[in-house]
Amino acid sequence: MRPFKTEIVLQTTWGRVWELLADFSLYPQWHPLFPKVTGSGAAGDRHQLLVHLPGIDPFPVQVTLAAKAEGALSWQSTFLGRPFLAWTFSCRLEQVSPGSLKVLQHSEFHGVLAPLFRFAFSRSMEEGMAQLNLALRRWGEKGNVRCLRC
Over its length of 150 residues, how does the chain's per-residue pLDDT go in tens digits?
789 999 999 999 888 899 899 999 999 999 999 999 999 999 999 999 999 999 999 999 999 999 999 899 999 999 877 788 999 999 999 999 998 999 999 999 999 999 988 889 999 999 999 999 999 999 888 766 566 655
Q: What is the CA radius of gyration of the chain?
A: 15
pTM for the model stands at 0.89
Which pLDDT value is given to residue 118?
87
Which pLDDT value is given to residue 56?
94
Which pLDDT value is given to residue 141?
87
Which pLDDT value is given to residue 70?
84
CB neighbours of 92 closer than 8 A, spacing ≥ 6? 71, 72, 73, 103, 104, 106
Question: Which SS3 state, helix, strand or coil, does residue 149 take?
Answer: coil
Residues 99 and 51: their CA atoms lie apart, in Å, by 31
Closest Cα to residue 34, out of 6, 7, 58, 9? 58
Which pLDDT value is given to residue 146?
61
Residues 89 and 121: their CA atoms lie apart, in Å, by 14
Which pLDDT value is given to residue 117?
87
What sign does the dihedral 105-115-33-61 (CA atoms) show? negative
CB neighbours of 91 closer than 8 A, spacing ≥ 6? 21, 72, 73, 74, 103, 104, 105, 106
